Chain A
Amino acid sequence: MPERIEHYRATRFEESVAAPRKARPRRRPFALVAGAVAYLVTFLIILPILWIALLSFQPSGNILGNPFSLSQLTLDNYVKVIGSLPLLRMYGNTMLIAIVSVTIGTAVSFMSAFALTRMTFRRRKVQSSLRFYLLAGLAVPVYILLFPVYRLDLAFGVFGTYAALILPYIAVSIPFNTLLLTGFLREFPTELEEAAIIDGAGLARLCWTVVLPLMRPVIATILIFNVVYVFNEFPFASILINNPDMVTVSLAVSRFQGQYTVDYGGMMAAATLVLLPQLVIYAVFQKQVIAGMTVGAVKG
């Protein structure tokens, strides 16, 4: 059976992104313009990010008064952030929470999405209603959840542990994951799975060795978004973390904002330090988005 799937993949999907079609001479000027536009748009989009990076090297006084000055750039803000925040611990806590919640969240969402798009319910109405039930969570603003989740955490005795954040993070990711997974599964033809079933694959094997690999671009996308969510999530983290040893990076930036004082330099440096690992994570998963379809082609 594996050969058959590999063969299927190799013939049905494009070999690589970098060369979607053979170069046609008459298209060259257009490609050139497209390339230029791509660079220009990208530059415009990242301009404000470059600016944070620049501001993070400015002395605090300059940020408000003279943000463009290049004469006094300093590492002071970074020294301060590294000195006053337990950054390693924050990264560690965040990675732990992200890995556990995103893994579980993606797994349970994938299972339910598979059932909601591929399995046959006695009543089809139930199937589509369940999908809408999960999708409705997309419309829920987080502030409606804060108080009740705190009380749930207390009731379950998980308050003060990592699970206090992990559980709501999983739950909140389910609507988004469901939207992407059910959407793409519906768009995606079932021929391959039918072939696998004819070959005698069971449910677990069908999910794990047939559907999951094919959904790699989507899974990678989901992982990226969920990890970014955990890194930036503030309302839950600020309410549900009571122990200074358990703080996450999303709280780092707010440490520089007091009742009557704001340390903009510290904020910018903390922001940059929170951003960098996320960009690396994106770069890694992003490769998966592209690589997803090419595995078979290489082997074929």
Chain B
Amino acid sequence: MKLTLRVWRQSGPADKGRMVEYKLDDVSPDASFLEMLDVLNEKLIASGEEPVAFDHDCREGICGMCSLVINGTPHGPERNTTTCQLHMRKFEDGEVIDVEPWRAAAFPVVKDLVVDRSAFDRIIGSGGFITAPTGTAPEAHATPVPKPDADRAFEAAECIGCGACVAACPNGSAALFLGAKVTHLGLMPQGQPERWDRVVSMLDTHDEEGFGGCTNTGECTAACPKGIPLDVIGRLNHDYLKATAGGKKR
């Protein structure tokens, strides 16, 4: 395959950045998108240019590290697929492909296509957990969990924390990420004692980090490589209102 790539190059946080065009002549349709970028980088190194920096690690769709906006869509054209699992056969021969980083104030660009997503870690740290000091746990079968709840909690817990929801959201909101964690922990009986404090402090941190407000556009769930459903945001709102207006928060 022949391809024309327009890749965002930005040497560091202070640089303004620009799109730079590269041409590749011999890309295998069986290569993954990131392997195609590997090929580009080998070519750049051979000609003494600096290769394109991009985040990636497991390359099997679970670590959540890869984070490219491809032709205006986070993780590219294939639904429910991370960038690393996207293969070049999904593109046309001769296609022009734009590659950009996640764009959000809360995810500042580090270099080229690499962004800093530590805001997500701080959101989790502010409440996205169940307090269970090691060694204090009761016998696992002490608390049965109804299967439908466990299954729904699992679906929400599948979130890989990649940030595609933020990248896709016209408002730059991380409501889907928040909602996924609030739903996962809020559905488990173990998560009940901290349920109301959790949602308030996670949402507060979310706002402090500079994410935008949710207007229910649904772009997040369409971009989510794990297909986290939009109802987790409904649950987030429900719990938040109950905690604040409903006076459940301590």
Whether chains A and B associate is: no
Binding site for B on A (CB under 8 A): none
Binding site for A on B (CB under 8 A): none
